[in-house]
Amino acid sequence: MAGIKQVQRQTGVALWRQIADRIREAISRGAYDETGMVPPETVLALQFGVNRHTVRSALAALAQEGIVRAVQGRGTLIERKERLNFPISRRTRFTDGLRDQARETHAILLGHAEEAADAEVARWLRIEQGTPVIRLETVRDADKRPVARGTSWFPAARFAGIGEIYRKTESITKAFAVLGLSDYVRATTEITATHADAGDIADLELTPGAVLLITKAMNTDLEGVPVQYSISRFAADRVQFTIEN
Amino acid sequence: MAGIKQVQRQTGVALWRQIADRIREAISRGAYDETGMVPPETVLALQFGVNRHTVRSALAALAQEGIVRAVQGRGTLIERKERLNFPISRRTRFTDGLRDQARETHAILLGHAEEAADAEVARWLRIEQGTPVIRLETVRDADKRPVARGTSWFPAARFAGIGEIYRKTESITKAFAVLGLSDYVRATTEITATHADAGDIADLELTPGAVLLITKAMNTDLEGVPVQYSISRFAADRVQFTIEN
DNA sequence: GAAAATTTGTCCGTATGTATT
DNA sequence: AAATACATACGGACAAATTTT
């Protein structure tokens, strides 16, 4: 390899930014495709003629952008990504929506409980605060990769036992069917984005600083009665939403 | 103030994480509401009994979450935020949608140009690649705060001069009206999220690591002919989208 | 308006811990 | 078990931006 162009000091652009730009460019050029990894920090530090910590600042920035992912003891891996598409419509179904995009999907029930509806849940489900609801905590995988984790609430009186049914069927649609609700529709969806918290990082196998797409959604039966309120947290670099009007 | 509980070493949780958690909690408790700022790094370092760099790691994490914002020479400010709501529907109008939520909105035209449609623009506008299109670069403000920046493309043959008209009217809807298109509808919207790049940070007054909501949207006239394709980049901590089905 | 003090930003060097190979 | 590689933490120095004097 020919000599590497050194970074420039006192230019008004911090060294770590220059280095981040150079590494980002090298990655997109395919310079590290053989190994799928960035060279070790010590090597990069030598190449750019800076301290290892300066390289670490650059790599931290790239990790935050989702371009690389550092694994202690192994190295810094280059991330490549394709996004799963989630259409949002009146007929939005989580699992069905993935059918053509992933060979294998799973819905794992982390836990379920019966509790009293708080103000937010009560408002979305249009019930009295304090009414019993069933809460489900789930993680959804597509091809062994976690895609989203979520919390759903259901009116307890109408959907008693939905937790265990969901664990077996791995599908809200099927669980509803078992409980006598043959069809339902998506009424409203609210979308925001933020950074991943500790729970997201653990459940979705993300790195600190990762971006999340968050949906708050309410489903109703065909009479317009709310049957489910859910908050889902998607790994933003693995999904996109589409709305067709 | 009574003694501050020191952080604990060798517990398997990094000091900077413990400190970030403590500061986050203090902020939500309102402990710094008088000044709206976190104490200086040197003070925090003394309080927690760690080096200033360790505090900096914690503050960097909080800055990334959008909870604080460091300003060189001033201090580390606490961010408080309310989100503007953008309904996405067949009748989605950017400016109209903000009318009840902001006293004053502006659309600034950064620049416009006529160019040949690339593959992506051609696909969305359903025209031949290479067909002339007009590109508009805009930034939108609500109450003096930038909310989104975007790029829009229009078929040049049909909307000649839209750049200058938009600069005066500050509204796509009005510009369309001037050019003889009295009504239009939102056909499709694609939503993703990612980190802000350098341009976003500058135009939207963000900090590095900020989260963006990105929409790719296509509008058609009432006959279903595409009239606009746009990519908009929203500061995620200032907006949310809602979809009513 | 200029100088000083304050506060965050960058960079280096070193040491040690932890996870993986 | 040893080597490798990233993670954490400390200490110091100086730069840059802002506020205060």
In the predicted model, what is the mean pLDDT of residues B20-31?
91
Q: Which of B199, B236, B192 is nearest to B215 (CA)?
A: B192
Q: Which of B72, B97, B77, B78 is nearest to B87 (CA)?
A: B97
CB-closest option in A186, A240, A245 to B192: A240
- pLDDT confidence of residue A5: 65
**What residue ranges in chain B does DSSP mark as E strands?**
37-38, 68-71, 75-78, 84-88, 105-116, 132-142, 145-155, 185-195, 211-220, 226-235, 239-244
Cα–Cα distance for residue pair A9/A27, rounded to 1 Å: 23
C1' of D7 to CA of A71 (Å): 10
Closest nucleotide over all strands to B55 (CA to C1'): D9
**Which B residues 52-91 have CB within 7 Å of strand D?**
53-54, 57, 71-74
The tokens describing A29, both together, are 């050029």
CB-closest option in B188, B211, B242 to A194: B211
- pLDDT confidence of residue A2: 37
Identify the contact set of chain B against chain A, taking CB-CB distances under 8 A.
61, 64-66, 83, 88-90, 92, 185-195, 208-209, 211-213, 236-237, 239-245
Is the confidence at residue B8, as pLDDT, over 90? Answer: no
In the predicted model, what is the mean pLDDT of residues B26-30?
90
Residue A91 near residue A185 (C-beta atoms within 8 A): yes
- Asked whether residue A11's C-beta has any atom of DNA/RNA strand D within 7 A, the reply is no
C1' of D10 to CA of B53 (Å): 8
Is the confidence at residue B196, as pLDDT, over 60? Answer: yes
Q: What percentage of chain B reaches a pLDDT higher than 70?
A: 98
- Asked whether residue B74's C-beta has any atom of DNA/RNA strand C within 7 A, the reply is yes
B191–A90: do the CB atoms touch at under 8 Å? Answer: no
Give me the tens of pLDDT residue by residue for chain A, a chain 245 residues long: 434 566 877 777 888 989 998 898 888 888 898 888 999 999 999 889 899 999 998 998 888 888 899 898 899 999 877 899 999 999 888 888 777 788 888 999 999 999 999 999 999 999 999 999 999 999 999 888 899 999 999 999 999 999 999 999 999 999 999 999 999 999 999 999 998 887 888 888 887 788 999 999 999 999 999 999 999 999 998 999 999 98
What is the separation of C-alpha A188 from the centre of its chain, rounded to a whole number of angstroms? 20
- Tokens 């179904």 sit at which residue? A93
Cα–Cα distance for residue pair B21/A244, rounded to 1 Å: 41
Burial of B184 (0-12, 13-18, 19+ CB in 10 A): buried
Kindly report which listed range (A30-44, B8-22, B61-75) carries the lowest average pLDDT score.
B8-22
- pLDDT confidence of residue A108: 92
**Residue spans of alpha helices (H) in chain B:** 15-29, 41-48, 52-64, 94-98, 119-125, 162-169, 172-178, 198-203
Q: Which of A109, A113, A186, A178 is nearest to A141 (CA)?
A: A109
**Residue spans of alpha helices (H) in A65-125:** 94-98, 119-125
B190–A241: do the CB atoms touch at under 8 Å? Answer: yes
The tokens describing B175, both together, are 């510009």
Cα–Cα distance for residue pair B44/B54, rounded to 1 Å: 10
Closest nucleotide over all strands to B17 (CA to C1'): D8
Strand-by-strand arrangement of the A84-88 sheet: A84-88, A239-244, B185-195, B211-220, B226-235, B145-155, B132-142, B105-116
Amino acid found at B138: T
In the predicted model, what is the mean pLDDT of residues B118-144?
94
Is the confidence at residue B208, as pLDDT, over 80? Answer: no
C1' of D13 to CA of B52 (Å): 14
Closest nucleotide over all strands to B75 (CA to C1'): C7
> Rounded to the nearest 5°, which phi and psi values hold at A22?
-65, -40
In the predicted model, what is the mean pLDDT of residues B133-160?
94
B194–A209: do the CB atoms touch at under 8 Å? Answer: no
Is the confidence at residue B191, as pLDDT, over 90? Answer: yes
- Asked whether residue B17's C-beta has any atom of DNA/RNA strand D within 7 A, the reply is yes
**Which B residues 26-55 have CB within 7 Å of strand C?**
38, 40-42, 53
A236–B192: do the CB atoms touch at under 8 Å? Answer: yes
B245–A185: do the CB atoms touch at under 8 Å? Answer: yes
Cα–Cα distance for residue pair B201/B192, rounded to 1 Å: 18
CB-closest option in B65, B185, B213 to A193: B213
Cα–Cα distance for residue pair A159/A185, rounded to 1 Å: 16
- pLDDT confidence of residue B170: 94
* Closest alpha carbon to C1' of D18, residue: B73
Strand-by-strand arrangement of the A68-71 sheet: A37-38, A75-78, A68-71
The mean pLDDT of chain B is 91
The tokens describing A223, both together, are 């009479």
- pLDDT confidence of residue B10: 74
- pLDDT confidence of residue B1: 42
**pTM of the complete model:** 0.85
The DSSP-derived string for A221-239 is -TTS-EEEEEEEEEEGGGE
- Please, which pLDDT band fits residue B245 given cuts at 50, 70 and 90? confident
Q: How far is A92 from chain B (nearest CA, A)?
A: 10
- pLDDT confidence of residue B171: 93
B195–A211: do the CB atoms touch at under 8 Å? Answer: yes
Q: Which of B214, B112, B123 is nearest to B168 (CA)?
A: B112
Cα–Cα distance for residue pair B52/B17, rounded to 1 Å: 14
- A152/B198: higher pLDDT: A152
Cα–Cα distance for residue pair B123/B215, rounded to 1 Å: 16
- Tokens 């091809």 sit at which residue? A143
**CA diameter of chain B:** 72
